[in-house]
Amino acid sequence: MIQLYIPLNFLGVIYREIKQSLTDLDKMFVLMEKEREVRDAPDAKPLNLHLLPRAGEGRGEGTSPDATVRFEDVSFAYEPSRPILKHVSFEIPAGKTVAVVGPSGSGKSTLARLMYRFYDVGVGSPGAGGGRITIGGQDIRSVTQASVRQAIGIVPQDTVLFNDTVEYNIAYGRPGSTHEEVVAAAKAARIHDFIAATPKGYATPVGERGLKLSGGEKQRVAIARTLLKDPPILIFDEATSALDSANERAIQAELQSAARNKTTLVIAHRLSTVVDAHEILVLEGGVIVERGTHAGLLAQDGRYARMWSMQQVEAAPVL
């Protein structure tokens, strides 16, 4: 009852304080579409990433979080009448990279959305499917959404930046970061020189009323943000938009170094990105139709091998 009597002028002060955060949150909700439908279980606890000895290290030395991700017989539909994922099972062992390739609309980004809990499998609507996704052996629906997101860094296809400074946009990866940490992340993502060359540097506003960044520059800001966050799990949704090929190769190199020793899901549109993956999944119509390493899939001489030879032809220099 006492809350009802909080003076209105005090509410005015907090209103102004939180207005900016709400604007940002609203943008996040738009991004996350059905975000508000994902609810934590009443008894949800934070995700617990137990430390495991790292393979190949000396006794008692070198541990890494058990950030193994498993999709176990996952089926999912946004609308009950239209199944999108059908009985999808795979594992990303801790520290390894699994890549997903396949035609547009086959459900690749949906895997990423489920892993980040934009949607929950089997919760909310009768068509939401079944199966489960675990991280470190824990069903992600049974732990808090915030702790799942804390453990995962996403570099999405189209990064939406906040109408704020470059500094804010990078530091968002880890609130409370120092300026030096922000600069170090920007350097690692190779966006520092570009920022430093602008008249206001890191204080330059970006977005509609500020500096307009290209698709590649925005992705670099997202990479810097993710490097700063330094999560054990990464999701890269490779941009479909045409970056020039030098830019594209550079971004791939930065992504690869960011993914070192992290549990990584790569949604790839260019097969050159996936060659070194621990496992490649070929998704078609929501079903894994082929899986294996690059060499194994080429030897199978199936869909992946055909996609590979088509991309080689496309990538060949035009004489």
| 117 sits near ligand ATP (criterion: CB under 6 A) | no
With binding defined as CB under 6 A, does residue 158 bind ligand ATP? Answer: no
Q: How many residues does the chain have?
A: 319
Is 54 or 270 the residue whose CB approaches ligand ATP more closely?
270
Sole binder of ligand ATP in the list 109, 163, 198, 256 (CB under 6 A): 109
Output the smallest distance, CB 190 to ligand ATP, in A: 25
| Binding status of residue 21 toward ligand ATP by CB under 6 A | no
Smaller CB separation from ligand ATP, 47 or 280: 280
Q: Nearer to ligand ATP by C-beta: 125 or 163?
A: 125
Residue 122 C-beta: closest distance to ligand ATP, Å: 16
95 binds ligand ATP (CB under 6 A): no
Size of the site for ligand ATP (CB under 6 A): 11
* Pick 33 or 301: Cβ nearer ligand ATP: 33
Can residue 106 be called a binding residue for ligand ATP (CB under 6 A)?
yes
Which residue in 101, 135, 120, 148 sits closest to 308, CA to CA? 101
> Of residues 105, 124, 130, 296, which one binds ligand ATP by CB under 6 A?
105
Residues 196, 232 contacting (CB under 8 angstroms): no
33 lines the binding site for ligand ATP (CB under 6 A): yes
Shortest separation between residue 107's beta carbon and ligand ATP, angstroms: 4
The Cα–Cα gap between 54 and 136 comes to 14
Residue 104 binds ligand ATP (CB under 6 A): yes
Q: Which residues in 122-151 contact ligand ATP (CB under 6 A)?
A: none
Does position 57 interact with ligand ATP (CB under 6 A)? The reply is no
* Site residues (vs ligand ATP, CB under 6 A): 33, 78-79, 84, 104-110
